[in-house]
Amino acid sequence: MSRTKKNKSLGSIMGYGFIQFEIHLREQYVDHMETHFEQELKVIESNYDEFMSSLKNADSDELSDEAKSHYEDSFIDDFFMIKKVYRKTFRDSQIIQLYSFLEDLLMKGCSRYASIKKTPYKVTDLSGQNDIDRIKKYLTKSVGVDFSKLTADWSFLDNLRVVRNQVVHHNGIIRNNDVVKGTDKKFNKIKSFSKDRFTLEPYVSSSDRFQIVFDNPNFITSILKHIESLIQKIAQYEID
């Protein structure tokens, strides 16, 4: 009695189980760091309140005005460094790393598929505006992935690519090249994508330049969710 041979899935080639594990590790890391920053800010606020309370309860002559000002400045500096420097740097780096993580997963999956199936071309042989565009073409032509069914995840991650490039190449500064008519396509794309995800703050009181500020920690989490969703759907495709 013969058994019907079950086709492998693309996920078996990509190492889907390991990918899931790594995504969950990254989720835990992001949660750990965000919690750490929040705790640090609360400690500073608590210490500041205690300091101000002690000034009211103690003899006002115990500290000079200069000393009081020095302590207040110290609290303000610590608060600023954590909120505007450390946390900002962490979130900026996550935008860069998570997109690179996605691109690397897909590129390696395509390379393994090409090697096992001995396809006549690789991702790098295809034309495209960028690597992710060539990956999409390869998965469509070689594996038969229907990206019309992946629109929500793919659109989100393609918008992330644009934002990530702005962070990498312009330190998160974006210029609106048509303030009057509003026809700047890249600016409009990022502005539309930013809603409920991150903020475009005026840069140095400029009317046409903005700083991309990742002030919503849920945006980082949503990136991981979309990566996981996309990989899960692609991984289900069977290969001969």
Measured CA to CA, the distance from residue 206 to residue 84 in angstroms comes to 19
Residue 173 DSSP class: E
Q: What local confidence, expressed as pLDDT, does residue 132 receive?
A: 94
Q: Is residue 211 included in any domain, yes or no? A: no
The angle formed by the CA atoms of residues 234, 12 and 135, to the nearest 5 degrees, is 40
Tokens matching residue 159: 């918008």
Is 16 within 8 Å of 231 (Cβ atoms)? Answer: yes
- The reported pLDDT for the residue numbered 2 is 46
Tell me, what's the pLDDT at 71?
Answer: 86
Q: How many domains does the chain have?
A: 1
Positions of the chain with pLDDT lower than 50, given as ranges: 1-2, 4
The encoded tokens of residue 58 equal 């103690």
Task: Note whether residue 97 is domain-resident.
Answer: yes
In a domain, 126, yes or no: yes
Beta strand 8-9 with 173-175 is: unpaired
Measure the CA–CA gap between 12 and 17, rounded to whole angstroms: 8
* 126 SS3 class: coil
| Contact in structure between 237 and 145 (CB atoms under 8 Å) | yes
Place of tokens 């500041």: 48
CA 92 to chain centre: 7
Asked if residue 59 belongs to a domain, the reply is: yes
pLDDT of residue 1: 44
H helical segments located in the chain = 10-14, 16-57, 65-80, 87-117, 131-138, 151-170, 185-194, 217-235
Q: In terms of pTM, does the model score above 0.75?
A: yes
Q: Does residue 222 form part of some domain?
A: yes
pLDDT for 145-167, tens place per residue? 999 999 999 999 999 999 999 99
- Any domain includes 204: no
In a domain, 196, yes or no: no
Structural domain containing residue 46: 11-148+218-239
With respect to residue 20, please indicate whether it lies within any of the assigned structural domains: yes
CA distance 142 to 121: 9
Q: What is the distance between the alpha carbons of residues 99 and 130, in angstroms, rounded to a whole number?
A: 13
